[in-house]
Structure 1
């Protein structure tokens, strides 16, 4: 297990009566071994596991004589092309694992000497096609795993020799479609996994031959619609996953024939509305429902679950929910995920008494009230991480009282800024401030000011009020001054007009024997220019006097 072995595989000194052989290495110190026939001396071997050893090939008749060998695991090596003679003599072998090698092709009849083989796993290799009759003589094969090979398309001919197959997995095989003839050749399939392919269309008769099917995984494809009769023959189906597809609506008839369904995963599709009768055919059997990642209104979720009698697990994470109202959650629910929503509060009245596991992570909770804490503190599993906890006495006091519980101790404060990222369990009540009234911002409508931040807010508010009063006073003063100046101006103008009229009405001072210089004087700030006699005469003559 320490790794670093190099050269030819040597078993010198090992007990010849051993039944299990394991040779492996850590990822950072792989072995570099080549095989040799010395293993043939260990006739009682029942299991051989040689992994992470960079074995390039298996050699001719390498396992000859190991009649008791039932499990052969050669995963995580560098094998490129197994041939039929590599497995000659292993007629009792039941399980063969060749995962994570560099196999690029398998000739027809590669496994023809493994007549009792039940499980064959060739996952995550480099195969792009499979030759017809590659599984020749594997009449007892029950489990075939080909996931992680870019096969694109499978020839139905390769399934003609494995009619007894009950489990077929080909995740990530780049399929765009499956030839329905394949299903007619393996009618006893119980488990079918075609996840993470490129399938976009399903024919209404796609699975008509798979009447024994109990588990079907179609998640991670591009399916946009489910034909109403797609599952018409799958009355024994107990688990169905349609997660991570492009479903935007589901017909009320989609699951009408799934009379045995226990688990249904519709997560991360594009569902925004669901018919209230969608789950009516499965209301007495459905125990686990996953709707996460679909923005279905809470009212429609309530209507969808209203008559469910046996639902135990409900996942409605990442659904954009802002509240959970009463009568939404079924009364027998034991596991609930509300992670990744926009919840800021939760009433204990909405939670069923049977609830034992609750996930409230990645919401907008800043604190939890004592009532809800009393309701959830006894649950066997509780997740509260990744919420913007405000570490003041107004918000986290009920949490702080229960900080000895691991999942509460490790919660991180988001505010005030001097406690950011600090573990809640490391805080003491005496360190915390009270809080002020809530303020609302565009980024988070439920944010609160703490006392420290409140002081800054009060100072800023006071300054704003003072500035406003000063502005109003300045405007009022300017207004009064302008009115006074205008009144004074018009008074002076009236006096000057009267003076001018008096001068021209009484002309004796200008032409009499004695010139009078007693002009009326303005006692104000205005100055009056004094004209000479000649200027006055000239002015008088020019006016015709």
Structure 2
């Protein structure tokens, strides 16, 4: 930054805040020793004038440093005691990355970032911020990443992000958000990743999502939806990743996922579904990954995943009530490469031929279930490369001799600990 420009900014600062006159005087005096004297590094900080990076981590700072090199591009002040963003921010107009996470920020004064036109990443996570407005982020025209995770936000009002036209990633997870107004995300035409997980939403804010036509990833798990209505994600026709982990779902309407033609990954882990939502999923013809463990279904019935012809990975982990996988459960999923059916404490029956007819199947995990015996026809396949049957109470009698021979031939298959017989 040119000295004259800095002088003008200091003059403005003095005019608006007489309490900082002494600090400003110290900065001006440092010029007498040359420009390099401007880069005064506070105790406990690391300042590099070559890389233009300043790191102050656990330095016990309670205010932002005022006399750093004004040309710094990365300022990291994590794990300190800063309670507000004061006028000293205007000295650092070259910043591209600012990390104020794990501080004591309660609010952000209007126009705090008015001079940060080049800032691309702003991390405010793990603070005590309770509200943001449409003036909070004014000036951040170049910002692409905003992290406000784990604060005390309760609502998002209309137009709160309109000053962030280039924002691509927004993290609002682990707050207390219970209300999102219909036009809260207006102006975020470039947004691709949105985290709203672990909040207090009781229903999907469909109207506000409809403004996010470029969104590729949506994380809304750990809320309290209970149900998904038809067209719950209308307008998100570019969505490829949808995370509903622990969203409290017990009911999914037949057309809940309508309008998601490009969805590739869906996480329904940790909900309260008592049956696999076969019909609801059937329209997701491009789905490649499905995580559906920790639900309440007792059986995987034949054609449970009908329509999912491009499915490559299926993860059913921790379904505490699951007892049986029926023959033909994966008959429609001929492109499956990885099947994980693990940590299901009641699962003892996997029907014959359950995993036959899957020519691309390479990885199978049946770890930590209640499997006592298996037929040779369950999963024999030429492409199978990995098989994990550990932590099952397998009875190693003559009916399981085929498994011993298979394990002898396949080095990547885990060895079995037999529950019985003793000999």
What TM-score, normalized to structure 2?
0.79
When Rg is computed on C-alpha atoms for both structures, the one with the higher figure is 1
Contact 2:347–2:369 (8 Å) recurs in 1: yes
1:60-99 equivalences under 5 Å are 60-67=87-94, 69-99=95-125
Corresponding residue for residue 371 of structure 1: 405
* 1:96-148 Cα deviation digits (max 9, x unpaired): 11111122222431001101111111001122233443323112212111000
Higher relative contact order (CA 8 A, sep 6+): 2
Kindly state the Cα deviation for residue 84 of structure 1 after the two structures are TM-superposed.
3.3
Unaligned runs of 5+ in 2: 1-40
Evaluate the alpha carbon distance shift between residue 306 and residue 172 of structure 1 in structure 2; reply closer, same or farther with a 3 A threshold: same
Contact 2:299–2:325 (8 Å) recurs in 1: no
Q: Give secondary structure in 2 for the equivalent of 1:159.
A: coil
Q: Within the alignment, does 1:359 sit opposite 2:404 as a pair?
A: no
Contact 1:61–1:88 (8 Å) recurs in 2: no
Kindly state the Cα deviation for residue 335 of structure 1 after the two structures are TM-superposed.
2.0
Q: Give secondary structure in 1 for the equivalent of 2:135.
A: coil
Unaligned runs of 5+ in 1: 1-7, 25-29, 390-394, 396-445, 451-545
Contact 1:64–1:90 (8 Å) recurs in 2: no
Contact 2:46–2:56 (8 Å) recurs in 1: no
Root-mean-square deviation over aligned CA pairs = 2.8
Name which of structure 1's ranges 127-136 and 264-273 shifts more when overlaid on structure 2.
Answer: 127-136
Q: Within the alignment, does 1:57 sit opposite 2:91 as a pair?
A: no
* 1:439-492 Cα deviation digits (max 9, x unpaired): xxxxxxx55568xxxxxxxxxxxxxxxxxxxxxxxxxxxxxxxxxxxxxxxxxx
Contact 1:220–1:244 (8 Å) recurs in 2: yes
Kindly state the Cα deviation for residue 373 of structure 1 after the two structures are TM-superposed.
3.2
Which of the residues 362, 370, 373 maps onto 1:342? Answer: 370
Kindly state the Cα deviation for residue 205 of structure 1 after the two structures are TM-superposed.
2.1
Distance, in Å, in 2 between the alignment partners of 1:383 and 1:32 is 53
Contact 1:61–1:87 (8 Å) recurs in 2: no
Distance, in Å, in 2 between the alignment partners of 1:188 and 1:269 is 31
Kindly state the Cα deviation for residue 42 of structure 1 after the two structures are TM-superposed.
4.1
Distance, in Å, in 2 between the alignment partners of 1:166 and 1:12 is 34
Corresponding residue for residue 315 of structure 2: 290
Which of the residues 197, 202, 207 maps onto 2:223? Answer: 197
Which of the residues 248, 255, 261 maps onto 1:229? Answer: 255
Distance, in Å, in 2 between the alignment partners of 1:383 and 1:98 is 48
1:40-439 equivalences under 5 Å are 41-43=69-71, 45-67=72-94, 69-250=95-276, 252-283=278-309, 285-294=310-319, 295-296=321-322, 298-300=324-326, 302-319=327-344, 320-324=346-350, 326-329=352-355, 330-345=358-373, 350-365=379-394, 370-379=404-413, 382=414
Distance, in Å, in 2 between the alignment partners of 1:267 and 1:213 is 22
Evaluate the alpha carbon distance shift between residue 308 and residue 161 of structure 1 in structure 2; reply closer, same or farther with a 3 A threshold: closer
Name which of structure 1's ranges 114-123 and 176-185 shifts more when overlaid on structure 2.
Answer: 176-185
Distance, in Å, in 2 between the alignment partners of 1:189 and 1:210 is 6
Corresponding residue for residue 38 of structure 1: 67
- Number of corresponding residues: 372
Contact 1:153–1:177 (8 Å) recurs in 2: no
Contact 2:185–2:209 (8 Å) recurs in 1: no
Contact 2:303–2:331 (8 Å) recurs in 1: no
Distance, in Å, in 1 between the alignment partners of 2:394 and 2:150 is 42
* 1:51-101 Cα deviation digits (max 9, x unpaired): 12233333214253432x222112112222122333231101111111111
Q: Give secondary structure in 1 for the equivalent of 2:307.
A: helix
What TM-score, normalized to structure 1?
0.62
Distance, in Å, in 2 between the alignment partners of 1:347 and 1:46 is 63
Contact 2:111–2:138 (8 Å) recurs in 1: no
